[in-house]
Amino acid sequence: MAGAQHCRLPDGSLFLGFDCSTQSLKATVLDAGLTAVAYDSVHFDSDLPHYATRGGVRRDPADPARVVSPALMWAEALELLLHRLRPRLDYARVAAVSGSAQQHGSVYWKEGAAAALASLDPAKSLAPQLAGALATPESPVWMDSSTTAQCREVEAALGGALELARLTGCRAHERCTGPQIRKMYQTRRRVYDSTERISLVSSFMASLLIGGYACIDETDGAGMNLMDIATRDLRRDALEATAPNLQDKIGKLAPAHAAAGTLSPYFVQRFQFTTNCIVVQWSGDNPNSLAGLTLSDPGDLAISLGTSDTVFGITDFPEPSLDGNILPNPVDPNTYMVMLCYKNGSLTREDVRNHYAEGSWDVFNKHLEKTPPLNEGKLGYYYKEPEILPPLPAGFHRYGFDNSASGSLDEMVEHNIDQFDPPSEVRAIIEGQFLSMRGHAESCGLPVPPKRIIATGGASSNQIILKIMASIFGCPVYTVQRPDSASLGAALRAAHGWLCNRQGRFLPVTCLHSGRLDKTSLSVKLAAPFGGSEKDIDLLKKYTLLVKKRLEIEQKLVERCRTAT
């Protein structure tokens, strides 16, 4: 057992966690008692307008499936955020820094970049010094869906989609880094050949902080289709199926709790950190959320409502599936996280709000309140972006049922509807998203009904949405004190990594808060109970039927799309 003494963080120390998400860079600072003492953010579109992003990304007008972000924007945001926090934060007290980043995105460092990273001048701004260090200024990000051909090639080379999922944790999805790298190799050979190192967004940010190439961590590494999910080493067959000479460009992988290095002289001198401040491996945003939500029981389900919506839980025995992604747990090397990812999250909810609720969340909520559960048999599929789960092109599909109250799946016959009345549109997107999550969570082995859901992300502050979630999943819904669990998780991981580094061995993350979680900023609170009355159970049964119907229709849409292409 880890003695309490081993688990103590030094009095007065601080732990800084970043989250480089699609639309912003955020930071949360925890003190030694795990209380959040500072928070700030940089919004890419509005704070850094010279990068001309919308929602943090740029779309190629000639090919809307291609979605990229300028990597230098993330570097500039890092520096700006450190300036913003400075008046409230004594950087000399920061013992460790870690971070979270959108998963899958890839940054291509040009030959000679390692030297540029190691010799940054603290008298000058960061981003301009790195302008010449990238083989391409634009990084493909997780929203990119332009690599279908490469996905099929990688799957075919490794024995098919399910076999690839068994070997690497997930089938080839367009956003996965391996297929993205393959496309770079096939279509921009010069960029690929002049690349000395490929970072994920997470390891790119860690590299900036240590002034040298940081390893990709094993958890975010699982989103590449290149790592063996059992051994956590790069797979030679997957590397060869992706692009030549790839192993050296990816480098070694490291556990998420490991130290990537110490903070580089650039940050020490520019912001007065101490020279022994360590940088703990950065990881993906979903794994960091898992840490920030303190998920520890396989009966817990987390739902993150952000730019992407994700659903995840912990398992000891991961089952490969075509729907879900399997990743090593970032704070427990013995367990895994299983995750579903939807591309149509907050931006699509906002789109429906703009069209059917006068652009106002108040009106959106009123619509939710005045429409009955089950939406009088109206079911909607809203894909503003090409969807990942199920793989479908952009488009909205609406159905009504001739016999929705019959209680039998066969008797529920759907018919197309062009448009619902505005309140029903609003209920249809919210119910539809949760019905889909419930159905797909079940099919990849996540607990349904869960013991409890912990909700996070922007929309988790909406009580009415959480009530609907509780009714559809049949369990209570909890929230954390702040919706940004990813940067909170990163700050917690900074503390965890610091402790493991200090002790020279792995210690369970729970030893940081054992018996006193309620007194920390990581505590959860009940936001929407599940009543369990006869009425609630009856409604749950009806939702159960609707989940099946929804997946059945979804399958038909996928088939129709497959035969059309």
Residues that bind ligand XUL (CB under 6 A): 21-22, 102-104, 142, 175, 223, 284-286, 308, 310, 325, 341
User: Considering just the CA atoms, what is the radius of gyration of the chain in Å?
Assistant: 23
Burial of 283 from C-beta contacts in 10 A (0-12 / 13-18 / 19+): buried
Q: Give 284 or 450: the residue with its C-beta nearer to ligand XUL.
A: 284
The distance of closest approach from Cβ of residue 169 to ligand XUL in the complex, given in angstroms and rounded to an integer, is 11
Phi, psi of 310 (to 5 degrees): -130, 155
Burial of 526 from C-beta contacts in 10 A (0-12 / 13-18 / 19+): exposed
For residue 405 the two structure tokens come to 């109250």
For residue 144 the two structure tokens come to 């990119």
* Tally of CB atoms within 10 A around 274: 13
The distance of closest approach from Cβ of residue 318 to ligand XUL in the complex, given in angstroms and rounded to an integer, is 15
The distance of closest approach from Cβ of residue 341 to ligand XUL in the complex, given in angstroms and rounded to an integer, is 4
The distance of closest approach from Cβ of residue 19 to ligand XUL in the complex, given in angstroms and rounded to an integer, is 9
Q: Which residue of this chain has its Cβ atom nearest to ligand XUL in the complex?
A: 102
The distance of closest approach from Cβ of residue 182 to ligand XUL in the complex, given in angstroms and rounded to an integer, is 18
The distance of closest approach from Cβ of residue 373 to ligand XUL in the complex, given in angstroms and rounded to an integer, is 28
* Tally of CB atoms within 10 A around 186: 14
Closest CA to 464 of 363, 533, 315: 363
Q: Give 261 or 457: the residue with its C-beta nearer to ligand XUL.
A: 457
Report the distance separating Cα 330 and Cα 470, nearest Å. 27
For residue 493 the two structure tokens come to 């991981």
Q: Give 171 or 398: the residue with its C-beta nearer to ligand XUL.
A: 171
Report the distance separating Cα 449 and Cα 473, nearest Å. 6
Q: Give 70 or 284: the residue with its C-beta nearer to ligand XUL.
A: 284
Phi, psi of 337 (to 5 degrees): -110, 140
The position carrying tokens 């919308």 is 54
CB 387 within 8 A of CB 344: yes
Q: Give 75 or 338: the residue with its C-beta nearer to ligand XUL.
A: 338
Instruction: Classify residue 505 by its DSSP letter.
Output: S
CB 456 within 8 A of CB 431: no
CB 471 within 8 A of CB 479: no
Q: Give 341 or 524: the residue with its C-beta nearer to ligand XUL.
A: 341
The distance of closest approach from Cβ of residue 307 to ligand XUL in the complex, given in angstroms and rounded to an integer, is 6
Q: Give 175 or 427: the residue with its C-beta nearer to ligand XUL.
A: 175
Closest CA to 234 of 187, 286, 181, 306: 181
Q: Give 177 or 471: the residue with its C-beta nearer to ligand XUL.
A: 177
Q: Give 16 or 338: the residue with its C-beta nearer to ligand XUL.
A: 338
The distance of closest approach from Cβ of residue 365 to ligand XUL in the complex, given in angstroms and rounded to an integer, is 25
Q: Give 286 or 348: the residue with its C-beta nearer to ligand XUL.
A: 286
The distance of closest approach from Cβ of residue 225 to ligand XUL in the complex, given in angstroms and rounded to an integer, is 12
Query: Which residue spans within 433-514 are E strands per DSSP?
Result: 452-456, 477-480
CB 242 within 8 A of CB 154: yes
Q: Is 515 left (phi over 0), alpha (psi -120 to 50) or beta?
A: left
For residue 228 the two structure tokens come to 């063996």
Phi, psi of 395 (to 5 degrees): 155, 155
The distance of closest approach from Cβ of residue 288 to ligand XUL in the complex, given in angstroms and rounded to an integer, is 10
Query: Which residue spans within 225-265 are E strands per DSSP?
Result: 253-254, 259-262
Q: Give 267 or 383: the residue with its C-beta nearer to ligand XUL.
A: 383
The distance of closest approach from Cβ of residue 328 to ligand XUL in the complex, given in angstroms and rounded to an integer, is 14
